[in-house]
Amino acid sequence: MVKEISTTVIWELLKTIPDPEIPAVSIVDLGIVRNVEFNNNQLKITITPTYSGCPAFSFMKEEIVRHLETDGITNYQIDISLAPPWTTDWMNDAVKTKLKKSGIAPPSLEVACPQCESQQVEVISEFGSTACKALYKCLDCLEPFHHFKQI
Ligand SMILES: [Zn+2]
């Protein structure tokens, strides 16, 4: 590898990888990319899985590899860090807004309907389409929606 690549370039690259379950947000938005650094020209990316056993995680890792190799980056190492455990607090407010716009109630102890903000909601299923999300129904506007579980 001859071209100079900075960590900024790597972060920008990682930001283009969407979460496989919620395409509106990237893996960087989710906070699973913990660190990007170069040690003697060797790139090291540290990632933390969201919910343990989340099947999307191995897919995300494969996506990182695919994006790096597409860009001609071959001297990389991907470390998986389990401590500290991932928490929804690692998502910033901009990400929560993105979730809401795609019809998903962001992580919160007080679940509100992403359409009408009503807190008159009921759980339909603790496990929606994925283990990370619960399916709710709004009792005011009657729209069903997903809530990204707070952990
Ligand atoms: Zn509603």
- The Cα-based distances of 62 to 37, 43, 128 in angstroms read 19, 16, 24
Q: Are residues 17 and 77 in the same domain?
A: yes
Cα 141 to averaged position of ligand 1 atoms, centre (Å): 4
Q: Dump pLDDT digits (tens) for 129-145.
A: 677 889 999 999 999 99
- The H-or-E segment that residue 23 falls in is none
Dist CA 51 CA 131 (whole Å): 8
Give the pLDDT of residue 147: 94
pLDDT in tens, the chain (151 residues): 445 689 999 999 999 999 888 888 999 999 999 999 999 889 999 999 887 666 788 889 999 999 999 999 999 999 999 999 999 999 889 999 999 999 999 999 899 999 999 999 999 998 766 778 899 999 999 999 999 988 8
Cα 122 to averaged position of ligand 1 atoms, centre (Å): 11
Final residue of a domain: which of 59, 86, 113?
86
**How many residues in total does the chain contain?**
151
Cα 38 to averaged position of ligand 1 atoms, centre (Å): 47
Q: Are residues 21 and 77 in the same domain?
A: yes
Give the pLDDT of residue 143: 95
Cα 27 to averaged position of ligand 1 atoms, centre (Å): 28
Cα 9 to averaged position of ligand 1 atoms, centre (Å): 40
Q: Is residue 2 part of a domain?
A: no
Final residue of a domain: which of 52, 86, 120?
86
Q: Are residues 24 and 55 in the same domain?
A: yes
Q: Is residue 138 part of a domain?
A: yes
State the total domains in the chain. Answer: 2
Cα 2 to averaged position of ligand 1 atoms, centre (Å): 54
Question: Do 33 and 45 touch, CB atoms closer than 8 A?
Answer: yes
Q: Are residues 42 and 108 in the same domain?
A: no
Q: Are residues 102 and 76 in the same domain?
A: no
The model's pTM is: 0.84
Per-residue b or e along 55-94, where b marks 16 or more CB atoms closer than 10 Å to that residue's CB = ebbeebbebbeeebeeeebeebeeeeeeeeebebebbeee
Q: Dump pLDDT digits (tens) for 103-120.
A: 999 999 899 999 999 999
Provide the CATH number for the domain around residue 79: 3.30.300.130
Tokens read off for 93: 């407010």
Q: Which domain holds residue 137?
A: 89-148
Q: Are residues 93 and 113 in the same domain?
A: yes
